[in-house]
Structure 1
Amino acid sequence: MSTGPGADSAPVRTATHDTTAERRGTFSSLRIRNYRLFFTGAIVSNTGTWMARITQDWLVLTLTGSSAAVGITTALQFLPMLLFGLYGGVLADRYPKRRILLFSQGALGLCGLALAVLTLSGHIQVWHVYLVAFLLGMVTVVDNPARQSFVSEMVGPEQLRNAVSLNSANFQSARLVGPAVAGLLIASVGSGWAFLLNGLSFFAPLIGLLLMRPAELHPSARPPRGKGQLREGLRYVAGRPELIWPIVLVGFVGTFGFNFPIWLTAFSDDVFHVGAGTYGFLNTLMAAGSLAGALLAAKRGSTRLRVLVGAAALFGVLEVLAAVAPSFWLFALLLVPIGMVGLTVNVTANSAVQLATDPEMRGRVMSLYMMVFVGGTPIGAPIVGWLTDEYGARVGFATGGLMTLAAAATVGLILTRAVGVKPRLRWHHGHPRFHLVRRHPEPALEPAA
């Protein structure tokens, strides 16, 4: 589909010096020392996190034999974000983000070590996993908005989009290694060692944070303590269509389209009858696609709402196709583009929302973003888990894809009206093409000066 001037013919925001080769490089933000330290520490801890995620899901399935139990574990981990996520954003705006991250990263490491001790001692029960998952979620309430908004303080506005994309590439690179290592550890020495390595991995980001040079940060103005800061953040988002509708879209995608722990365990165990090693391999294939999507996003110099809506729609279509794939290898190969397009949705929405937000509001806005994106999982995961148990993995996976596709179509239509464009069919050399043409002048999608 080709497009003319319309909803997102201009980027959400472009950097002033974006035309130089220095700014356009795929890894340009790594020239900044503080961000290099952050990035390096995150590689280690993200690898441990992926090892723990895969091990946790497989352990719960082994203990209970239920996909719904895997969904409950996932839901408990993200329930605190749904309940308290906005308060985490207020804290991220009010206190120094580096100090918050030193506390939160240390607490995440302790949770991993606790699960390791329980598993290695042979006392692990499913309620232990539920409890640790909930505690991880409570820490994430503060860690997520602080970590998301701290990126802009490390790199400044010119490199923000590149850094957001590289963060995703970092996360997905770890996803290539973590599941594979976890599968080998589960099969050879047991789940406890994977949990232990995850807990120890958090020393890396703590060291990176301690080695940073505070004078080289770009701290945003912190609002003083006072009433009404939470309501102020909600009013701020509600009055901006370029913020609220991308957040609504990723909410539906996160709630119904990103329940891969449920689907991949169910397809591995019930549909294709493979073991933990192959389950790790499926996660690695998704990670390979996600990594490719992140690196492509890092090369792009602008953020377009059209890309967000189109990627969300394609993501839903690919999930439906994977749900009905008749063979294991076709299913496995489809996970690569699913990972690539899903990552495109995540990076595009994240950078669009951050770039369209004033710095002093970024913690609260990103907490709302993360609350909607991952906080919907406590709603979606039990539903999808129940559908998967009752009607099979294929029905559960297809339902998630169809819900995502419907949300993309709805939000796409709303955004075209919000920014004053409409679709129009034109003929080009005998072939029909759709264009977006303006109804009236497009509102600015940049934060107010």
Structure 2
Amino acid sequence: MLSHNSKFGCLWLSFLISSIGDWLYRLALPLIILEKTGSAYHAATVFGVSFVPWVLFSLLGGSLADNYAKKKILISGNAAAGLISLFLIFILQSKSINFGLLYVAVFLLASVDPLIHPSFQSIIPELTVQKQFVSANAALQMVDNTLAIMGPLLGGTLVTFLGGMSAILIDTLSFFIAALILFKLPQRTERTRKNRPVRGIVQDVVTGAKYSFQQKVIFSGSLMFLFTNFALNMFEANFMFYMTEALNYPVIKATIALALGGGGALAASFVGSRIVESFRAGMLLSSSTILAGLSTLLLLFNQNYLYIGIVLGLVSFFGTINVITYFTLRQRTVPRHLLGRVIAVTRMVSYASIPVGSWCGGVLLAHGQTMFTVILLAGIIRTLAGVGAKLSPLGREK
């Protein structure tokens, strides 16, 4: 049972702490920008910039995970994120935001995740046995999904009463606390190669990329997420603008809608293990994507914040089942010595569309289109991504 696994418990706790900070950051930053500039374009662009490093540095992160001590990578990454976050606070304290420096700070902070995420994902098989993979992924998703409920409510309250800067300061502290917790992980669970030359790292990257592209099932999944993330972030990057500016809801009602959306994801984390074990992975991945896309279109029919929250819950339920299924499929089928690099390649491909989707949503709004258009396009694209997955090698995966 995972409840008796203290090694995984340390990883889980550090993830919980840093995820709390991430939620506060995710809420506070666009609100600070909107408050100071009133610009949906800048808010969406900053959101998009935060995903560019996934395209640039994911492969390097995968090579690091397969060659160096994952514990050290995770600790160093969280400590670096804390220092960069302090720099971001300094920039945001100015009365007039310097967007050049802001984009640099957001980019640097976002660069930490792609460098350490492969280590985080690939250390799970080292801390657990294979029969615990689904439970471990579900437990981590439960953190995300519980905070999808509590994060908006807590974050909205803090932003409302203490201000956005306080929320980002808490995020900064969370990085340092997470780093301290990670010191309790085992020193090294597998043999790693020290002093890996740059040429060797490049060769590792090429090997990981070749494997990922040749494994049609794994690569089909990353392509499915490429289009899914494009559609999702057309809407998600502009959610706070939609709720607070277009619909004129106070921040607390916007966060209530987000919290209701998190309820669906939390429900999926409880039943996810049973569902994933009961159905074919390919069928589950394609079907849940189609259902998430069709659910997105329900946002077109009502603008009540409670209704929006319930629909977001439905979308996040299918999205969470999607993630648990794909992570488990990847961990079970990819050789462990390649897992970090494969995680990096597939994450890089799937995240490449996030800044583009965010930017496209912001551009549409900046040029006079309404959120109706954004939501319609997002729902259609996500549905078609699921149809494409069903027709691909992924759809036939057992």
Relative to the length of structure 2, the TM-score reads 0.91
Change (3 A) 1:207 1:298: farther
Change (3 A) 1:368 1:164: same
Question: What pairs up with 1:48-447 in 2 under 5 angstroms?
Answer: 48-119=21-92, 124-214=97-187, 217=189, 219=190, 225=197, 226=200, 227-300=202-275, 302=277, 304-389=281-366, 390-415=368-393, 419=396
Q: Give the Cα separation in 1 of the matches to 2:272 and 2:375.
A: 26
Kindly name which structure, 1 or 2, has the bigger radius of gyration based on alpha carbons: 1
Query: By how many angstroms is 1:375 displaced?
Result: 3.0
Q: Give the Cα separation in 2 of the matches to 1:276 and 1:234.
A: 43
Q: Give the Cα separation in 2 of the matches to 1:121 and 1:79.
A: 25
Query: By how many angstroms is 1:87 displaced?
Result: 1.9
Q: Give the Cα separation in 1 of the matches to 2:76 and 2:349.
A: 24
Aligned residues: 391
CA contact (8 A) 2:257 2:305 kept: no
Q: Give the Cα separation in 1 of the matches to 2:234 and 2:267.
A: 21
CA contact (8 A) 1:252 1:404 kept: yes
SS, match of residue 51 in structure 2: helix
Query: By how many angstroms is 1:323 displaced?
Result: 3.1
Query: By how many angstroms is 1:199 displaced?
Result: 0.7
Query: By how many angstroms is 1:243 displaced?
Result: 0.9
Unaligned runs of 5+ in 1: 1-27, 420-441
Query: By how many angstroms is 1:311 displaced?
Result: 0.4
Q: Bigger CA drift: 363-372 or 148-157?
A: 148-157
Q: Give the Cα separation in 2 of the matches to 1:206 and 1:260.
A: 33
CA contact (8 A) 1:42 1:204 kept: no
1:286-305: CA deviation from partner (whole Å, max 9, x where unpaired): 22211111222134463611
Change (3 A) 1:310 1:301: closer
Relative to the length of structure 1, the TM-score reads 0.81
Query: By how many angstroms is 1:374 displaced?
Result: 2.5
Identity of aligned residues (%): 21
List 4+ stretches of structure 1 deviating above 6 A. none
Q: Give the Cα separation in 2 of the matches to 1:292 and 1:113.
A: 35
SS, match of residue 136 in structure 2: helix
CA contact (8 A) 2:69 2:192 kept: no
SS, match of residue 172 in structure 2: helix
**Amino acid of the residue matched to residue 337 of structure 1?**
L
**Amino acid of the residue matched to residue 377 of structure 1?**
I
Query: By how many angstroms is 1:204 displaced?
Result: 2.9
Change (3 A) 1:318 1:380: same
Q: Bigger CA drift: 130-139 or 244-253?
A: 130-139
1:85-106: CA deviation from partner (whole Å, max 9, x where unpaired): 2122112211111110010011
**Amino acid of the residue matched to residue 351 of structure 1?**
T
1:86-134: CA deviation from partner (whole Å, max 9, x where unpaired): 1221122111111100100111222333333444575754444322210
1:35-58: CA deviation from partner (whole Å, max 9, x where unpaired): 111111221221111011110121
Change (3 A) 1:260 1:354: farther
1:266-310: CA deviation from partner (whole Å, max 9, x where unpaired): 321344211222222222122221111122213446361111100
Q: Give the Cα separation in 1 of the matches to 2:317 and 2:203.
A: 40
Q: Give the Cα separation in 2 of the matches to 1:55 and 1:326.
A: 23
Q: Give the Cα separation in 1 of the matches to 2:8 and 2:101.
A: 36
Q: Give the Cα separation in 2 of the matches to 1:174 and 1:333.
A: 16
Q: Give the Cα separation in 2 of the matches to 1:246 and 1:355.
A: 14
SS, match of residue 268 in structure 1: helix
Q: Bigger CA drift: 183-192 or 49-58?
A: 183-192
Change (3 A) 1:356 1:46: same
Change (3 A) 1:353 1:39: same
